[in-house]
Amino acid sequence: MEHQNRRILVLSHAGHDASRDAVIEVCRQLTAASVQPVLRDGELDDILVVAPDLSSVVLLDRDVALDTIESAVVLGGDGTILRAAELVRGSSVPLIGVNLGHVGFLAESEKNGLTDAIERVIAQEYDVEERFTLSVRVKIGDQVAFETWAINEATVEKASRSRILEVVVEVDRRPLSSFSCDGVVMATPTGSTAYAFSAGGPIVWPSVEAMVFVPISAHALFARPLVVGPDSVMAVELVDRADASGILWCDGRRSFDLPAGARVVVKRSPVSVRLASLRTSTFTDRLVSKFDLPVDGWRGPGRS
């Protein structure tokens, strides 16, 4: 395969020795294959102190533009991959995650499979999945006060531990129910294994186009998790009273304080994030591995 002029972005959790060592390993493997590693500004100096042989590494934005990048290898846990998604969303660059953290549902490979994963990236032996994201808008009265997005979830939570949140929820512009709660999670299939799962929501296979609505500690007879269609519009309104306030979190990274009467509208965004699959396992295998699920007694095809 011709490697000339190929560039692969390497992203990591800055400041961690394990991440730095993994970055050096990946950069050396790419360089040996005549593929140019690309780092972000501020990371290269730390790398060169330990690995001066990597002086040919170039910097994103200063030396090369994002639209010249073939793919991005992300070294870290799901939080690192979420930060990387902020960087590449809207571009054609797919993310390939290598888990250096704990559960790491968004990662395609574990640390002990790093070398093999990079070999597959170099050989372009991966499939690219378009993971849909959420468009999130906060309205206060008739005004749009805040707009953002999420690949995992948008969460409306109570602002104070001592105060319960009172909300009215809506699906497809029709009221569904009102109740008191600690919060509400609205998630994508990608985020169904994250906060939504911890709150009691269902796991949704990544290939399913749907959104998940999960109340958190709701005081109501009808407060079950819901799965709605990809074209549905979900909304959460904070009851308009003097002590009613909350906070919106998107992917646990972007937040906005919600005053009484605020309305949070969530729907599918037209802008996706591209995640690469190395074809090493199925989503079922990943669930079994990440949650250490018992499969003793299985007698299906392909059993070892």
Assess contact for 30 and 122: CB atoms under 8 A.
yes
The Cα–Cα gap between 205 and 209 comes to 9
Task: Give catalytic residues, as residue numbers.
Answer: 78
Q: Which residues of 246-273 are buried (b: 16+ CB within 10 A; e: fewer)?
A: bbbbbbeeeebebeeebbbbbbbbeeeb
Query: Residue by residue, what is the 3-state secondary structure of the chain?
Result: CCCCCCEEEEEECCCCHHHHHHHHHHHHHHHHCCCEEEECCCCHHHHHHHCHHHCCCEEECCCECHHHCCEEEEECCHHHHHHHHHHHCCCCCCEEEEECCCCCCCCCEEHHHHHHHHHHHHCCCCEEEEECCEEEEEEECCEEEEEEEECCEEEEEECCCCCCEEEEEEECCEEEEEEEECEEEEECCHHHHCHHHHCCCCCCCCCCCCEEEEEECCECCCCCCEEECCCCEEEEEECCCCCCCEEEEECCCEEEEECCCCEEEEEECCCCEEEEECCCCCHHHHHHHHCCCCCCCCCCCCCC
